[in-house]
Structure 1
Amino acid sequence: MNLLQATTDPKLFAPWFKDEATWTAWRAFLGALFGLPLSEAEADVYRACTARQSLPEAPYSEAWLVCGRRGGKSFIMALTAVYLAAFRDYRQFLSPGERATILILAADRRQARVIFRYMQALLTEVPMLARMVARETADEFDLTNRVTIEVGTSSYRAVRGRTLAAALCDEIAFWPTDDAAEPDYAILDALRPAMATIPGAVLLCASSPYARRGALYDAHRRHFGKDGAPALVWQAGTRVMNPTIPQSVVDEALERDLPSASAEYLAQFRSDVESFISREVVEAAITRGVVERPPLSKVHYFAFADPSGGASDSMTIAVAHREGDRVILDALRERKAPFSPEAVVSEFSDLLKRYHLKSVVGDRYAGEWPREAFKRHGITYEPAEKPKSALYLDLLPKLNSGEVDLLDVPALATQLITLERRTARGGRDSIDHAPGAHDDVANAVAGAIVGVGNARRPLIVSREAVLAFAGPGPGRNRDRHRYGSTL
């Protein structure tokens, strides 16, 4: 029995496909994925969503689904996983004691749980499939046919050592890209060898689109609209895949924010989002092997903090100083949530005193709380004049010109590299972290680097100039009145 037949069988998945008219596009996609005959209506949808003319004649081992939000892709991924696990026999390809794994990787644990609940319903509410479940845990099902369905988050470490019959990657556009610690390409490169020993193994990547970078965009660029391409690329807006979504919802979203809604509902890659700092620039600024520099006497330091309440975001602080035309990052601290804000303020205050600092500039967070908290430790907290987006804009030319020496801290490099530039309707740029990412460390470092770089340098006056100033001469009293206190 193929998957399309299973969706019409009342003993299997038919209860989830009662309104057949609303599932035409998904039937077309599943038919194309598994090389099944398409009806005339399904063939029209296939041509519209793939920009190809020739219909598929064989199953695809790799497919990329670029779909608008609320289109139903999470349910379809769960359905595909259950079908591949329960209706195919992999035992002839397995060694004694080995199990075939259907692995579903999501962008985060919350999304993974959504897919897991869909699979749970499909397996446990169909009696003939429920009898195949030998064991169920919080994130996997062991079936009696030596197949395991497992749901996890995107990490290439989770792939090692598995024999995969299929890998389904959800919301891959929001996985870290090639600039991050665990990039999407690295995970895909780990998945493909794990599927090599199972004939007919399937790699399915699905996501609503985001920026014009990463594995999803690369697959779209290479395979979309090209007859005979080895991978299927399917691109469709929300209402194409799910006509039950009201058009008014899409129209209102487009009116509020056209670039964002075009990606979310029309499945168009965003042209207003681009990487802000290149990997090469950040790596060139790092002094390898140095994670902190000791305080020096007769050096003027500057510190910047990014406070947090301790529940979700990290609290960070960075210390830097100027050395000629260069700005040196000396110290960096990050305390990840959960933590006691008062305890972290105490720790950060000790760090400031170690660098002979009695004040710190910081993000405008939570009103008076940071000011009062640092004051109890003898530290003056001054709110920053510029928002973090402006700090990042000021940081970029300093990095590009090679004026900055950074510390060898992986979180710092990752956060700087994954910052994004977005262009608003009025043409104004804003800089921020990518969806689901963080920039607490990058914010503190940008504040410290820009702050010390813009600080007024101390006035150095020779002994002769002071003696000349103190001696007799016209205008002496006037100049002494103007500059005497400074000298």
Structure 2
Amino acid sequence: MSAPPNIVEAMTDPEWFGPWFQGESWDGWRTVLKGMFAVPMTDDERAFFRTVSERDPPAEPSREMWAIVGRRGGKDSIASFIAAYIAATFSGQDKLRPGERPLVMSLACDRDQARICLNYIKGYFEQIDLFAGMIERETQTGFELSNGVDIAVATNSFRSVRGRPILAAILDETAFWRDESSANPDVETFNAIKPGLASIPNSLVIGISSPYRRSGLLFSKFRDHFGKASKTLVVKAPTRVLNPTIPQTIIDEAMAEDPAAASAEWMAEFRNDVSAFVSQEAVDACTSPDVLERPRVDGVKYSAFVDPSGGSSDSMTLAIGHSQLSEDKKRSIAVLDAVREIRAPFSPDDAVAEFATLLKSYAIRSVRGDRYGAEWVSQSFKKAGIEYKAADLSKSEIYRDLLPRLNSGEVDLLDNRRLTTQLLSLERRTARGGRDSIDHPPGGKDDVVNSVAGCVVYLTSARHQPVYPAMYSWSGQPINRKNPSRFDGPITEGELAGGYATAMR
């Protein structure tokens, strides 16, 4: 193979990638790539580049570019093209240790998306004559090339990217990355990639995504570098700016139906109607490090909340906790003692039996839960010797009541990674009428946090505490039955810490 053309020339050359990028509809992307690789531009191209970057073109090639582009804007086509070009033209083996193979990786938000990118890249090597015979061996995640480069496409995971010299990392749809074991998979994966880039000169990171909420790696790159003379190039463009073949009527209809969602999907604007539910700092302050579970203590009254499931897709979860006085003796703290999750698929009856055993070990004979399939859930728990009470608060109402408790430190959580991940992933959404709702993000999970939130909120909600029969303090003073938190006489700290049940005669 003779000296390769630059990436923009290769995109146009009919013997290279030209057949896939014919016509003026790709001119916008060609200009973006000229900016990234510091290829000279015409005056018209410089003017266009400023509209999508709010800056002058870089004088030197950028080793990091983030393209925030509307849906159907050609992101996958460009990502796979860049990966194929960089892999095919690599000639820097003298920069590596003997036997070391550089990696061109494309990380996507799910396996289906990853497979699309892999098929695009493979198609170039199978159909471009200049690349004939370069694929020496196919692997489970990609293939190996005759020039010593490996190409791999996978889902985002900070564990899978360590230990390899990275020639280029294409981060596809980073705004939508989800990982059940990480609250910040985009940030953690990006940080894991950086050491692998250090050993190869001119290695690249390219993030291409539609925008979502105003947080995470993509938004931080936009906030810190867009419109600035930075070494990190950030471009932002609505769909039709980079793909004018999309009919305007489709976008107009979407904007009329849901302006907030369409502004992100088609106009490449970060959403203002979606925000993080709780901060990392608040969750960290409420979590007891390295405490995975607390055993039952005699004399303590425990409560529980269950998030049922039919067993086919969602997990079934249970949370157990108790209430105790804070160190300053001025407020009540909800303490989480145990969390259980049974992942699908499973037998609902077996799950209920397992949960009932745990509940009884904490001397719990009744459990609250959401209204999902209330009849069969109630009957199943009844057979297991546990009374099931449907919650009178909705999931969104429970989350609403949980937030002030987290922010004020009135919760003591276990160090449970899935709980922390799901809690930090919760989103607050504002509907067109102004009403807020709180739920997991698209593709996310909230089974564990559902049961924990219900347990915590009901533990600390006075109106949901049981009304006891006539109760008396140790001094013989009657306790107000309508409001057990008020006493007709003094009560000791020991009586409060032990709970009302131990203060009964």
Cα distance in structure 1, aligned partners of 2:131 and 2:189:
31
Q: Summarize the alignment of residues 221-300 of structure 1 with structure 2, pairs less than 5 Å apart.
A: 221-226=223-228, 228-300=229-301
Q: Which residue of 1 aligns with 2:394?
A: 387
Contact 1:90 1:100 in 2 (8 A): no
Once the two structures are TM-superposed, the CA of residue 168 in structure 1 deviates from its matched residue by 1.0
Cα distance in structure 1, aligned partners of 2:21 and 2:410:
61
Q: Summarize the alignment of residues 180-191 of structure 1 with structure 2, pairs less than 5 Å apart.
A: 180-191=182-193
Once the two structures are TM-superposed, the CA of residue 462 in structure 1 deviates from its matched residue by 4.7
Q: Which residue of 1 aligns with 2:405?
A: 398
Cα distance in structure 1, aligned partners of 2:139 and 2:390:
49
Cα distance in structure 1, aligned partners of 2:312 and 2:112:
18
Structure 2 regions of 5+ residues with no counterpart?
326-331, 479-503
1:44 aligns with 2:55: no
Cα distance in structure 1, aligned partners of 2:126 and 2:260:
41
Q: Residue deviations 1:58-104, cap 9 Å, x none?
A: 32111110011111101110110000000231212121111111111
Q: Which residue of 2 aligns with 1:437?
A: 444
Once the two structures are TM-superposed, the CA of residue 180 in structure 1 deviates from its matched residue by 4.4
TM-score by length of 1: 0.89
Q: Summarize the alignment of residues 9-158 of structure 1 with structure 2, pairs less than 5 Å apart.
A: 9-18=13-22, 20-52=23-55, 54-158=56-160
Cα distance in structure 2, aligned partners of 1:419 and 1:182:
12
Moved more, 180-189 or 110-119: 180-189
Contact 1:327 1:405 in 2 (8 A): yes
Once the two structures are TM-superposed, the CA of residue 265 in structure 1 deviates from its matched residue by 0.8
- The equivalent position to 2:471 in structure 1, one of 455, 460, 463, is 460
1:372 to 1:142, Cα distance in 2 relative to 1, 3 A: same
Percent identical: 47
Specify the SS of the correspondent of 1:191. Answer: helix
Cα distance in structure 2, aligned partners of 1:328 and 1:160:
38
Once the two structures are TM-superposed, the CA of residue 219 in structure 1 deviates from its matched residue by 1.5
Contact 1:314 1:335 in 2 (8 A): yes
1:130 to 1:314, Cα distance in 2 relative to 1, 3 A: farther
Contact 1:156 1:182 in 2 (8 A): no
1:327 aligns with 2:344: no
Q: CA RMSD in A?
A: 2.3
How many residues align? The count is 464
Moved more, 144-153 or 273-282: 273-282
Once the two structures are TM-superposed, the CA of residue 382 in structure 1 deviates from its matched residue by 2.4
Structure 1 regions of 5+ residues with no counterpart?
467-485
Specify the SS of the correspondent of 1:266. Answer: coil
Cα distance in structure 2, aligned partners of 1:138 and 1:38:
41
Cα distance in structure 1, aligned partners of 2:310 and 2:44:
55
Q: Which residue of 2 aligns with 1:474?
A: none
- The equivalent position to 2:455 in structure 1, one of 448, 459, 463, is 448
Contact 1:27 1:42 in 2 (8 A): no
Cα distance in structure 2, aligned partners of 1:334 and 1:435:
21
Moved more, 289-298 or 195-204: 289-298
Contact 1:166 1:203 in 2 (8 A): yes
1:380 to 1:252, Cα distance in 2 relative to 1, 3 A: farther
Q: Which residue of 2 aligns with 1:340?
A: 347
Contact 1:212 1:274 in 2 (8 A): yes
Cα distance in structure 2, aligned partners of 1:462 and 1:181:
46
- Amino acid across the alignment from 2:269: Q
TM-score by length of 2: 0.86
Q: Residue deviations 1:423-477, cap 9 Å, x none?
A: 22122221112333221111100101111222325453258568xxxxxxxxxxx
Contact 2:183 2:424 in 1 (8 A): no
- The equivalent position to 1:6 in structure 2, one of 3, 10, 23, is 10
- Amino acid across the alignment from 1:11: E
Once the two structures are TM-superposed, the CA of residue 381 in structure 1 deviates from its matched residue by 2.3
Moved more, 286-295 or 59-68: 286-295
Moved more, 303-312 or 38-47: 38-47
Specify the SS of the correspondent of 2:406. Answer: helix
Specify the SS of the correspondent of 2:460. Answer: helix
